[in-house]
């Protein structure tokens, strides 16, 4: 689904509109912009579509990756894609072909590139995991495995710190955990509500935001000892995605509702905490990709 900030026009299934009605398949897990192209990870179709970032017209596809989850650009010629079969697979962006793969823990999911080290969160997939796999993107080999809390699901870098949010699992008691890593070691740990997810960094790098229950939480990066706090709490049904618009500065939070009748996206001013607007989007809206 495409939203035009200027005209406020909402285009349902822009891929079909741009490609003579062609269906993208099930399920569009994530999208990423890299080096002038947009990459669409279609999980259950086991395919990555390469499209024009302005029109979403089909350019090419990458085949051979089962259950692609997330895309991480590395260079003009190389990218990494996480998947629940092999862990991380490298692709040649010049030819859009599959290269080598690296086995990680269970359910390789979101990633972060720090210099030449790729941090791969092992979310558990269809099972469980409590690790992060560090991969050298030059040699395409595993450097080491880092222990973390149960259910790592999102990761960001702020200054010299790497932050990892772990939401735990349904059959485990206790809470989730927000971890700060420095030099690949845990420097701080904060208890957060169970099932916390969607960790993101504010545009100015000063604040971390994440979702838990019906609440948007905030953690400043400027005061290390300060605990995460409830930032916005209102009657949301199923908060499912969170990001900040780089142009307007507003937080965008997608509420998936009952996961069958479409989602609603709320626009939130991070300074006043006021919800100024909302729009209807597709079923299970789980992420945002801003225009380039």
Cα gap 121→107, rounded to integer Å: 8
Does 104 reside within a domain?
Answer: yes
pLDDT of residue 254: 94
Does 207 reside within a domain?
Answer: no
- Out of 189-198, 269-278, 281-290, give the one with best mean pLDDT: 189-198
Does 34 reside within a domain?
Answer: yes
Residue-by-residue DSSP string for 75-129:
SSSEEEEEETTTEEEEEETTTTEEEEEE--STTEEEEEEETTEEEEEE--TTS--
Q: What is the dihedral of CA 114, 118, 123, 129, to 10 degrees?
A: -110
Give the number of C-alpha atoms closer than 13 A to the C-alpha of residue 236, restricted to the C-beta side: 26
pLDDT in tens, 244-284: 999 999 999 999 988 888 899 999 999 999 988 789 988 88
pLDDT in tens, 12-27: 889 999 999 999 988 8
Does 8 reside within a domain?
Answer: yes
Does 103 reside within a domain?
Answer: yes
Q: Which residues are bridge partners to 216 per DSSP?
A: 211, 232
Nearest to 241 by CA among 199, 189, 290, 277: 199
Instruction: Grade residue 292 by pLDDT with cuts at 50, 70 and 90.
Output: low
Does 242 reside within a domain?
Answer: no
pLDDT in tens, 74-109: 999 999 999 988 899 999 999 999 999 999 999 999
Does 27 reside within a domain?
Answer: yes
Instruction: For residue 117, count CB atoms less than 10 angstroms from its CB and return exposed for 0-12, middle for 13-18, buried for 19 or more.
Output: middle
pLDDT of residue 262: 87
Nearest to 238 by CA among 265, 217, 206: 265
Domain that holds residue 97: 1-111
> Which CATH number characterizes residue 95's domain?
2.130.10.10
Number of structural domains the chain divides into: 1
Look up residue 231 and give its DSSP letter. Answer: E
How would you label 188-198 residue by residue, b for 16+ Cβ within 10 Å and e otherwise?
A: eebebbbbbbb
Can you give the three-state secondary structure of 12-49, one letter per residue? CCHHHHHCCCCCCCCCEEEEEEECCEEEEEECCCCEEE
Cα gap 26→33, rounded to integer Å: 20
Choose between 1 and 20: higher pLDDT: 20
Does 132 reside within a domain?
Answer: no
Query: Which region, left, alpha or beta, applies to residue 138 given φ > 0 means left and ψ of -120 to 50 means alpha?
Result: alpha
């Amino acid at each position: 689904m495409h939203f035009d900030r200027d005209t406020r026009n909402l285009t349902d299934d822009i891929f079909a509109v741009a490609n003579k009605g062609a269906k993208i398949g099930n399920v569009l897990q994530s999208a990423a912009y890299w080096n002038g192209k947009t990459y669409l990870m279609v999980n259950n179709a086991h395919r990555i579509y390469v499209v024009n970032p302005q029109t979403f017209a089909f350019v090419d596809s990458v085949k051979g990756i089962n259950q692609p989850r997330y895309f991480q650009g590395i260079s003009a010629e190389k990218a990494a894609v996480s998947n629940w079969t092999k862990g991380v697979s490298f692709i040649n962006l010049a030819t859009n072909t599959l290269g080598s793969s690296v086995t990680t823990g269970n359910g390789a999911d979101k990633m972060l590139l720090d210099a030449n080290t790729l941090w791969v969160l092992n979310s558990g997939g269809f099972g469980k995991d409590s690790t992060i796999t560090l991969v050298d993107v030059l040699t395409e080999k595993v450097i080491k495995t880092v222990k973390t809390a149960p259910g790592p699901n999102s990761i960001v870098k702020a200054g010299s710190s790497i932050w990892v949010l772990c939401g735990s699992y349904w059959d485990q008691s206790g809470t989730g955990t927000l971890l700060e890593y420095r030099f690949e070691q845990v420097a701080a740990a904060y208890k957060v509500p169970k099932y916390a997810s969607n960790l993101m960094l504010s545009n100015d790098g000063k604040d971390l935001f994440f979702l838990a229950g019906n609440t948007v939480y905030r953690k400043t990066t400027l005061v290390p000892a300060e605990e995460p706090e409830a930032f916005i709490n209102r009657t949301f049904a199923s908060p499912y995605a969170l990001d900040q618009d780089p142009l307007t500065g507003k937080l965008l939070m997608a509420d998936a509702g009952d996961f069958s009748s479409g989602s609603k996206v709320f626009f939130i001013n991070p300074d006043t905490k006021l919800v100024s607007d909302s729009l209807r989007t597709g079923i299970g809206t789980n992420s945002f990709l801003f225009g380039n």
